A and B are shown apart, each in its own frame.
Chain A
Amino acid sequence: MLLLAPSPVRAEPDATDPRWGLPNLMRGLASVRSGAARFTERKYLSVMTQPLNASGLLHYTAPDRLEKETLLPQPSRLVIEADLLIVTRGGEPPRTLSLRDTPEIAGLVEGVRATMAGDLRTLERLYTLTLKGDADGWVLLLEPQDRRVRNLVTSIRITGHHNALTGVETLEHDGDRTEMTIEPHAS
């Protein structure tokens, strides 16, 4: 079983279903064409003396569109589509960034988006993957392969249940940390 698993992956087979692994997880995630969920987020930043909290809604549309609608503490909307990242806040004109130009952001959002898309090729290209658990409760650890990205983002830890993500925890190189919990939402 270990020999059949893709190379950078150290899949730890589960006792209940020895055949379950990264390819199954990815196939399951890829079968989700769109979805919506609630999120709550807590950021621990070194420039702040206290954590920042936020909550709102996530919308995902296969293959590459992710929309994060923050409702609290202040409404804002973030859309990631293909290479573009568009942020709209209040009455301000939208800000558009290219992911390619902002590796510190790309390193964080690409992993989440590719996981939601079940895009194993992209994940393996950008990260070293470690999968633990089983279909009922899995943890996927993403560590950037590119050294420049590693100098910005240390790891992304994604937890999930079957085809749904339940949490994302990102750790940046400077020690800043973000914890996001996700719960399914009937939209």
Chain B
Amino acid sequence: MRRGAWVIAVWVAGLVLACLLIVRTPFSTDMSAFLPRSPTPAQQLLVEQLREGVVSRLVLVAVEGAPQEALAPISRGLAARLRLDDHFSVVNNGDQTAMTAEAGIVLRHRFLLSPAVTPQRFTEAALHDALLADIAMLGTDLAPVVKRMLASDPTGETMRLLQDVTGRSHPRSRDGVWVSRDGASALLTVSARAPGFDIDAQERGLDYIRAAFADTLHDMPHMQGARLVLTGPPVFAVQSRARIKSDAERLSIIATVLVAGVLLLAYRSPRMLVLGLLPVATGALAGVAAVGGVFGFVHGITLGFGVTLIGEAVDYAIYLFTQTQPQAAPRDTLKRIWPTLRLGMAISVCGFSAMLLSDFTGFAQLGLFTIVGLLTALAVTRFVLPVLMPAGFSAVGSARIAAPVLALIRHRLRLRWVVLVATMLAGASLVLHAGPYGEDELSSMSPIPRADMALDARLRGELGAPDVRTLLVVEAASREAALEASERAAAQADALVASGVITGFDAPGRWLPSQAVQSARRAALPEAAVLQENLARAVAGTGLRGDIFGPFLADVAAARSGALLQRADLDATSLALQVDSLLLRNGGKWAGLLPLSGVTDQVALAASVAAMGEAGVVFLDLKQESDNLLRSYRAEALMLSGAGGAVILLLLAVSLRTPRRIAAVVLPLVAALICTAALVLGFNERLSIFNLFGLLLVVAVGSNYILFFARAEADLPRMVASLVLADLCTVIGFGILSASSVPVLHGIGGTVAIGAFLSLVFGAVLSARTT
């Protein structure tokens, strides 16, 4: 067999092997791959909450544009339809008639639920005090309510508990349903049954809400003006996915068409166009196979980013095709350009290799993917493409595009000063930049438009919807143990409330006390005869009639012999949701969450929690935790880029040897990076982690151009043409991505487009050599 046939056979075998490996590799979109390898409990909980926490399922609904008197009927109609559906566990529109189940549970189990129930609660003296308090309330305008409860609940347990059901922050209510403060829209909250990360389920749920709204309006004439506004994490998740998908699809189609058009003009051969994609396609397959083999799974982000990161492999084919002279063999071209290609690839691999060491599995996967992908792509360029290239091929259409850069090279001595001054100005603007360089908030990476976030904040404010930020967290081996642990933590939180560090907190035991606590409360209820005698003495002299308390005596007797409250008793009420959202199964363990409210001083709070010394109580600030995670990403990205840069310098030193040659490569690259960073900072005011990724790509792509310029080249116009063609493709591809409003696409696209262009120009001016 000829050598060429062997090469093709090995290549095809490799492709088959890679495909076999890939078929067996699970793909994951689990955010935990972007957690550190050994996450803190706080980080783990953060990701859990984002994935499936109660907040991740909450849809906030507003009905606008209807006449004010129509809002309540629409709200009731919509809520009734949604309550019928299986997608949602709780639908709340403020209609208290829909809360009768909750009120019933509270009434029935008040002696087990109320923290005030202790043996001392039912002594003659305590009952007397309770009755005096009741009389004081009878003197106010609350008298009708107090009167209704007095006979069965003189100690006021129900009233106190029901106060907690409705919650501390009331939305405004009109005609019995929640409305916005200006009264112009009706408000509802809807909790999806599916966890937040199940975006397909969330999408179906949202579609159902829209359909239910349309049905509701259908039954009511003249309501065409009414609009439905949805917000909340499920809405954002569905929208972001759709936006990223549509942006990525739309923009990559545009970019692909344009790049293919440019390459077709240059090659005048569709076959070459397809051949040009072989290195990068093979590289991507090999990269996925390698990551799957090493890590056991491939993250969706690795795939998406990885293909972008090995984009420079497209250039390999361009260099080969364009620099091949008519009537020359591709092998001869390769002989000439191979050292440069190899060094360029090695620079990229060094740049990315630092990522292998990352503490974040996601970064490490990206590193491995890129290295294997680039090595494979270069090997395909070196060995496979020459076999498949038609004899005598020459990129006839590329000759003219070199002209502008050749002009730069001719005037390079004068232009050097321009580059130098521009770089110094850019450097100065970077140094003098007022304010922080990086985004510290995770929200900056979110693809959600600002207006939508503002809408969400407004509705959240109106509804008093949970915006869980600070928590105490306890962990235990079982649900019951977690309940008990959170009751101990709640006692500590009570102390924090008493000392004014926080204004309040919630706890899983509020609606489901541990069995131990319930038993203790049940045991605190006195025997019928004792209670009757204590009550009779307590009533004396109060002015109350003594013969009205029969219901109270009966209820206490029933509670004494009744069963304890179980989680299943809460089913199908909003109390179940409240318990489940605070009592989570976390792997094999159970976690109890105590959200704190009214926290003014996070630092003081953290200190006092630490000082409380209750074993196993963790203080968690979710926002700070997510911002910390982002900061550690950025710190890690900076550290890895720094390490990569050092390795690249070492590599250049070893392979180029003389300081002059090293400088000829490093100076234009550094100048391009400085100017790109200054421009991006000027446009965006901040450098995001995506801009950093972009700069890394500029090093990978730009170094190739500069290495080619720095070589003494016999056929300068042809070499320059190949660089211009490669650069044109990069600038078009990434420039179009920068038109996206999705931060990740915009950030990487803009940075690479600017950086690649500047690398070419600066390389031409600072590094080009003419023979």
Q: A48-B545, A82-B172 are in contact. Are A102 and B144 (CB under 8 A)?
A: yes
**A89 touching B136 by the CB < 8 A rule?**
yes
Q: For the complex formed, measure the closest distance between the CB of A57 and the CB atoms of chain B, giving whole angstroms.
A: 14
- Select which of B143, B151, B166, B173 is within 8 A of A45 by beta carbon: B143
Give every chain A residue within 8 A of B140 (Cβ-Cβ): 54, 70, 76, 78, 87, 89
A47 & B96 in contact (Cβ 8 Å cutoff): no
CA distance A50 to B138 in the complex (A): 12
**A152 surroundings in chain B (CB, below 8 A):** 144
A121 within 8 A of B: no
Report the bound CA distance from A49 to B137 in whole Å.
16
> Which residues of chain B have C-beta atoms less than 8 A from A96's C-beta?
163, 166, 170
Q: Mark B155-172, 1 if CB is under 8 A from A, else 0.
A: 000010001001000101
Of residues 57 through 112 on chain A, the ones whose CB sits less than 8 Å from some CB of chain B are: 68, 70, 73-74, 76, 78, 82-85, 87, 89, 95-98, 100-102, 104-105, 108-109
A residues within 8 A CB of B173?
A: 83-84, 98, 100
A101's nearest neighbour on chain B, judged by CB, is: B96
Q: Is A73 within 8 A of B138, CB to CB?
A: no
B144 contact set on A, CB distance < 8 A: 102, 104-105, 108, 152, 172
How far, in whole Å, are A52 and B542 apart by their CA atoms in the complex?
11
Query: With the chains together, A152 CA to B145 CA distance in Å?
Result: 11
B300 at the interface (CB under 8 A from A): no
Q: Is A146 an interface residue (CB 8 A)?
A: no
> Of B138, B141, B150, B166, which one neighbours A68 at CB under 8 angstroms?
B141
Instruction: Determine the chain B residues whose CB is within 8 A of the CB of A174 once the complex forms.
Output: 147
* Contact indicator A70/B139 (Cβ below 8 Å): yes
B141 touches A78 (CB 8 A): yes
The contact size tier of chain B is 20 to 34
B residues 167-224 touching A (CB-CB < 8 Å): 170, 172-176
Assembled-state Cα–Cα distance A78/B163 (Å): 16
B141 touches A83 (CB 8 A): no
**Is the pair A45, B170 in contact by a Cβ cutoff of 8 Å?**
no
In chain A, positions 147-187 with a C-beta closer than 8 Å to chain B are 152, 172, 174, 176, 178
- Report how many A-B pairs have Cβ atoms within 8 Å: 95
CA distance A104 to B145 in the complex (A): 7
Contacting pair B138 A52 (CB below 8 A): yes
Docked CA distance A85–B136 (Å): 17
What does the 1/0 interface line of A3-19 toward B look like (CB < 8 Å)? 00000000000000000
* Residues of A close to B588: CB separation below 8 A: none
A132 close to B (CB within 8 Å): no
How far does the alpha carbon of A84 sit from the alpha carbon of B174 in the complex, in Å?
Answer: 10
B145 near A43 with CB under 8 A, answer no
For B151, the chain A residues whose CB sits under 8 A away are 47
Which one, B138, B141, B163, B175, contacts A108 given CB within 8 A? B141
The answer for the CA separation of A66 and B187 in the assembled complex, in Å, is: 26
Q: Which residue of B lies closest to A82 (CB)?
A: B172
Most A C-beta atoms less than 10 A away, residue of B135, B137, B140, B159? B140
* 24 pairs of residues in contact across A and B, judged by CB atoms under 8 Å: A45-B138, A45-B147, A47-B150, A48-B138, A48-B543, A48-B545, A49-B545, A52-B138, A54-B139, A54-B140, A78-B141, A78-B142, A84-B172, A85-B142, A87-B141, A89-B140, A95-B142, A97-B142, A98-B170, A100-B96, A100-B173, A101-B96, A152-B144, A176-B143
Best-buried of A47, A95, A174 by chain B (most CB within 10 Å): A47
* In the complex, chain A residues whose CB is within 8 Å of the CB of B143: 43, 45, 176, 178
Do residues B136 and A74 form an inter-chain contact, with CB atoms below 8 A? yes
Cβ contacts under 8 Å, B163 to chain A = 95-96
Contact residues in B for A172 (Cβ distance below 8 Å)? 144
Determine whether B544 belongs to the interface, using a CB cutoff of 8 Å to chain A: yes
Give the Cβ gap from B486 to chain A, nearest Cβ, in Å: 22
A96-135 CB mask vs B (1 if < 8 Å, else 0) is 1110111011001100000000000000000000000000
A49 to chain B, nearest CB (A): 6
Closest Cβ of chain A to B394, distance in Å, is: 82
4 nearest CB pairs, A to B: A104-B144, A101-B96, A100-B176, A83-B173
Q: Give the chain A neighbours of B544 by CB distance below 8 A.
A: 47-49
Q: B454 within 8 Å of A by Cβ?
A: no
Provide the residues of chain A in CB contact with B147, threshold 8 Å. 45, 47, 174, 176
B139 touches A43 (CB 8 A): yes
- Give the chain A neighbours of B141 by CB distance below 8 A: 68, 78, 85, 87, 105, 108-109
Alpha-carbon distance A78/B141, docked complex (angstroms) = 8
Q: Which residues from chain B contact A47 at a C-beta distance below 8 Å? A: 138, 147, 150-151, 544-545, 548
Bound-state CA distance A119–B526 (Å) is 52
| Bound complex: CA A87 to CA B174 (Å) | 20
In the bound complex, do residue B148 and residue A52 qualify as a contact, i.e. CB atoms below 8 Å apart? Answer: no
Question: Using Cβ atoms and an 8 Å threshold, which residues of chain B touch A98?
Answer: 96, 166, 170, 173
Residues of B within 8 A of A87 (CB): 140-142
Report the minimum CB–CB distance from A3 to chain B (whole Å).
29
- Assess A102 versus B135: contact at CB under 8 Å? Given A47-B545, A49-B544, A76-B140: no
B31 to chain A, nearest CB (A): 39
Report the separation of the CA atoms of residues A104 and B144 in the bound assembly, to the nearest whole angstrom.
6
Chain A: CB-nearest residue to B177: A100
Q: Which of B142, B151, B163 has the largest number of chain A CB atoms within 10 A?
A: B142
Q: How far is the CA of A178 from the CA of B163 in the complex (A)?
A: 26
> Given known contacts A47-B545, A83-B173, is B145 in contact with A102 (CB within 8 Å)?
yes
**A73 surroundings in chain B (CB, below 8 A):** 136, 139
Name which residue of chain A comes closest to B133, CB basis: A89
Chain B residues within an 8 Å CB radius of A45: 138, 143, 147
- Nearest-neighbour CB distance to chain B for A74, whole angstroms, equals 5
User: Cα distance A97–B148 when bound, in Å?
Assistant: 15
User: What residues of B have a CB within 8 angstroms of the CB of A48 in the complex?
Assistant: 135, 138, 543-545
Closest chain B residue to A103, Cβ basis: B144
Since A45-B138, A108-B144 are in contact, a sample of 8 more A-B pairs with Cβ atoms closer than 8 Å, ordered by chain A residue number, is: A43-B138, A52-B139, A73-B136, A82-B174, A83-B174, A84-B173, A95-B159, A95-B163
Nearest chain B CB to A148 CB, angstrom units: 12
The smallest C-beta distance from A36 to any residue of chain B, in angstroms, reads 18
Interface residues of B in 522-577 (CB under 8 A from A): 543-545, 548
- Which of A74, A102, A104 is B139 in contact with, Cβ under 8 Å? A74
Complex interface residues of chain B between 104 and 142 (CB less than 8 A to chain A): 135-142
Q: How far is the CA of A68 from the CA of B151 in the complex (A)?
A: 27
Cβ A84 vs Cβ B145 within 8 A: no
Give Cα distance in the complex from A98 to B136, angstroms.
21
B668 to chain A, nearest CB (A): 69
Instruction: Identify which of A49, A101, A102 gathers the most chain B CB atoms within 10 Å of its CB.
Output: A101
**A100 CA / B166 CA spacing, docked (Å):** 13
A70, A73, A100, A172 interface centre (most CB from chain B within 10 Å): A100
